[in-house]
Amino acid sequence: MNQYQMGDIFKKISEKENHVFKDDVAYSPNTKFQIETEDGYKDVITMITKTDYPAIIKGTLNNKEYKTNVSKKHRIKLENGRFEFVYNLKKGDELYNINGSIIIDSVEILPEKETVYDITVDDDKHEYTDAEGFVHHNTFGIKKVLTEMLGEYGEGPRGKWAFYEGLNTSGFGLFKLLLLNKKKLIVFDDSDSIWKDKDMINMMKIVTSDSGDRTISWTSGATANVALMSKSQREDYEMDYVQEIMDDPNTKMKPPSSFNFEGQMINISNLPANKFDNAIKSRAIFINVYLAQRDVLRRMATIKRLQGASDAKIEKLLTMLDPEAMDALKGIGKYGGEVKYVTPEIARKNKIMNMRSLDIAESLLDAGVKNLEHMVSMYA
């Protein structure tokens, strides 16, 4: 089996698949290859490049020198089983190695940042072993992020978006969610609790702003005050916090008190337009969608056909709900002329037909009830 340095692997994949790696953007290679772990060879499922300070760790075991080239914010396994950031290591610490415990002789962090490489292994441990026997941690553990941190993660192009359905959270919970997805497109579907809380609405005003930096802040004892830090120090702290969350979702490490949101947002909701703050509507592309009644009827008929209902049955059901329903399917009569949109005002004044209406009518029809049309008019 061929063995390569990490940088060489990235170069080969880049050339073979005509892919240009971009920092902090995960890439799922089409070429299948494996890396050694303590549990045998495992598939590599994503690759990622970053910019960081290179580091060289040297240690000794039985008078033999061992060396590994990593980066400042990389995590490596200690003899006690924990993973520690390289920048926290010092001479005398013990590193785990498949050949035995390695006593660190020196940790050298180089002064110039370079491109560094990392991968995600298809394994729940999120660990891999290098040629020297040191055990490393995935910096970008996608599966762990999916199951323990982000909930349902949108599988968009190279993991660029996150999807949340029916989200029920607090203001502080939304703050952390935005931080963890600060560079992604976030899609909220039926997450109406966001729009009922003043703190969350104020955060969303910042998210949808189109002027300058979108700095989101949460100042309390639950956050680490980063106001006096330099820009690079704040960015380093953010990365450390996200990495800590990946490794331990219950970590006691505090999120930074502020960060710049660089992503985008799509919100899908059934709430009426007047339930959204005017500032939100003015800053976002706000689309208030009403279906025309004829389109509702056509969609109902299409769904029933897909469910296997005959055209004769569909015609009977729709006609019981609306005597002119079949005209809607043909695009004639009043449904072929003036388009009647089902606005909230109309919906409040009239009992609007929908799939529930059609399902109730079908159940009554299949049950063979007497006075079918009357029962449908009452209950459907």
More confident of the two residues 333 and 275: 275
Domain segments of the chain: what residues? 6-136, 144-283, 293-379
Tokens of 315: 């015609």
CA angle at 101 for the pair 100 and 103, rounded to the nearest 5°: 140
- Which band of pLDDT confidence, cut at 50, 70 and 90, is reported for residue 272? confident
- In this prediction, residue 2 carries a pLDDT of 57
Label residue 373 by pLDDT band (50, 70, 90): confident
- For the cut 80, the answer to whether the pLDDT of residue 10 exceeds it is yes
Per-residue pLDDT reduced to its tens digit, 176-198: 999 988 888 888 888 888 888 89
Q: How far apart are CA 299 and CA 217, in angstroms?
A: 45
The DSSP symbol for 336 reads T
- What mean pLDDT, rounded, does the chain reach? 81
Is 164's pLDDT higher than 50?
yes
Residues 6+ apart with CB under 8 A from 284: 208, 267
Rounded-to-integer distance, Cα 256 and Cα 235, Å? 10
C-alpha to C-alpha distances, 258 to 100, 221, 263, 376, nearest whole angstrom: 43, 13, 15, 57
Residue 146 pLDDT > 70: no
Give the lowest-confidence range in 82-91, 143-152, 259-268. Answer: 143-152
Question: What stretch of H or E contains 109?
Answer: strand 102-109
Please name the fold of domain 6-136. Answer: Endonuclease - Pi-scei; Chain A, domain 1 (2.170.16)
- State pLDDT tens for residues 302-311: 888 877 888 8
What is residue 149's predicted lDDT score, i.e. its pLDDT?
Answer: 39
Q: Contact 186/178 with Cβ under 8 angstroms?
A: yes
Bridge partners (DSSP) of residue 61 are 64
Is residue 215 over pLDDT 60?
yes
Residue 367, Cα to own-chain centre: how many angstroms?
45
Residue 163 pairs with which residues in a beta bridge? 187
